[in-house]
Amino acid sequence: MSSRRYAVIGTGAIGGLYGARLADAGFDVTFLGRSDVAALRSDGLHVTSATGPIDVLDVTAETDPGAIGPVDVVLVTIKTTAQATLTESLPALVRPGTIVVSMQNGFGLESGIAEVVPEAIVLGGMCFVCATRVAPGRIDHLDYGRVTLAEHTGDGQPAGPTDAVTAVAADFERAGVDVAIRDDLDAARWQKLVWNMPFNGLSVVLDAGTDVIMADRRLRETARSLMEEVAAAASVHGHPVGTGFVDQMLADTEAMTPYAPSMKLDFDAQRPLELAAIYDAPLGVAARLGVPAPGLSLLAAQLHHLDRMNRRGG
pLDDT of 109 above 90? yes
Record: fold of 187-312: N-(1-d-carboxylethyl)-l-norvaline Dehydrogenase; domain 2 (1.10.1040)
What does the pLDDT look like over 146-163, one tens digit per residue? 999 999 998 889 999 999
pLDDT of 253 above 60? yes
**Quick one: CA torsion of 138, 198, 153, 110, rounded to 10 degrees?**
-40
What does the pLDDT look like over 12-22, one tens digit per residue? 999 999 999 99
What does the pLDDT look like over 182-237, one tens digit per residue? 999 999 999 999 999 999 999 999 999 999 999 999 999 999 999 999 999 999 99
How confident is the model at residue 50, as a pLDDT? 86
With both helix axes pointing from N to C terminus, report the angle between 281-289 and 185-205 in degrees, rounded to the nearest 10: 110
Catalytic site includes residue 79? no
pLDDT of 3 above 90? no
Given the residues 192, 237, 239, 264, select the one marked as catalytic. 192
What does the pLDDT look like over 273-314, one tens digit per residue? 999 999 999 999 999 999 999 999 999 999 999 999 998 875
**Domain ranges in the chain?**
5-183, 187-312
CA distance linking residue 245 with residue 228, whole number of Å? 10
- The class (CATH top level) of 5-183 is alpha beta
How confident is the model at residue 314, as a pLDDT? 59
Longest dimension (CA), the chain: 54
CA distance linking residue 285 with residue 297, whole number of Å? 12
Identical fold at 5-183 and 187-312? no
